[in-house]
């Protein structure tokens, strides 16, 4: 399938909202708010808060659209101020790497489209968006899957192997299978 990406913004909010609603609010109502500074709340609160962030330019993601124009996934990214909550915080802070310009915190792919390159397209779209807005140091905390079976619900941050295919390097291990990965993206 031919995937295209578009930035999440006021114009694409309805595409994002339809995808989330079609998938039970994603993880039971997260609305991809869990890494933002606001406290996690009810499904209605999460949706309203995410929409307000998107409409005011304080939430970023690359939406992946199918040939029919329907959103099938995304990759969320933002500044550390926009996305201060990270996995493995205690271990991360023990020897924190340089503060990045951007963080990639989560991916979501519609259940019917997993294994079809949506996450790959989402990451590529996010990196393109980051380059267009000036580039800089990008980090993520992801899971190594080589040599093991990983439960899909724990791969909302994609895999280290996918990031490595896009030029990311492992910075430091922060969990049994979790690594900080990073790379510098040149401005477009």
The structure tokens 């080589």 sit at 146
Determine the pLDDT at residue 93.
93
Give the angle subtended at the CA of 93 by the CAs of 79 and 107, to the nearest 5°: 45
Residue-wise pLDDT tens digits, 24-41 = 888 888 999 999 999 889
pTM > 0.85: yes or no:
yes
Residue-wise pLDDT tens digits, 110-168 = 989 988 999 999 999 999 999 999 999 999 999 888 777 665 555 678 899 999 999 99
Closest by CA position to 105, among listed 81, 72, 132, 71: 81
Residue-wise pLDDT tens digits, 74-104 = 999 999 999 999 989 999 999 989 999 999 9
Residue-wise pLDDT tens digits, 153-176 = 556 788 999 999 999 999 999 999
CATH code of domain 4-185 = 3.40.630.30
Q: At what angle do helices 43-55 and 13-22 cross, to 10 degrees?
A: 160
| Rg from Cα positions in the chain | 15
Q: How many residues does the chain have?
A: 188
| Mean pLDDT of the region 64-73 | 97
Closest by CA position to 122, among listed 139, 137, 104: 104
Question: What sections of 23-117 are H helices per DSSP?
Answer: 43-55, 89-94
Closest by CA position to 120, among listed 18, 34, 4: 4
Determine the pLDDT at residue 162.
95
Is 52 strand, coil or helix? helix
Phi-psi region of 136 (alpha: psi -120 to 50; beta: other; left: phi over 0): left
């Amino acid at each position: 399938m031919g995937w295209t990406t578009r930035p999440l913004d006021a114009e694409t909010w309805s595409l994002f909202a339809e995808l989330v609603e079609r998938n039970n609010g994603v993880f039971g109502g997260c609305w991809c708010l869990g890494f933002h500074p606001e406290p996690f709340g009810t499904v209605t609160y999460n949706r309203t808060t995410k929409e307000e962030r998107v409409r005011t330019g304080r939430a970023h993601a690359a939406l992946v659209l199918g040939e029919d124009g329907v959103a099938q996934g995304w990759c969320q990214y933002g500044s550390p101020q926009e996305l201060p909550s990270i996995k493995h915080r205690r271990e991360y802070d023990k020897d924190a790497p340089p503060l990045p310009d951007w963080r990639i915190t989560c991916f979501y792919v519609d259940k019917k489209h997993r294994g079809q390159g949506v996450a790959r397209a989402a990451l590529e779209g996010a990196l393109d968006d980051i380059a267009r807005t000036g580039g800089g140091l990008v980090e993520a905390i992801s899971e190594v899957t080589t040599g093991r079976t990983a439960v899909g619900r724990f791969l909302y941050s994609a895999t280290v192997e996918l990031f490595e295919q896009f030029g990311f390097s492992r910075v430091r291990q922060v969990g049994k299978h979790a690594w900080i990965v990073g790379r510098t993206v040149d401005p477009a």
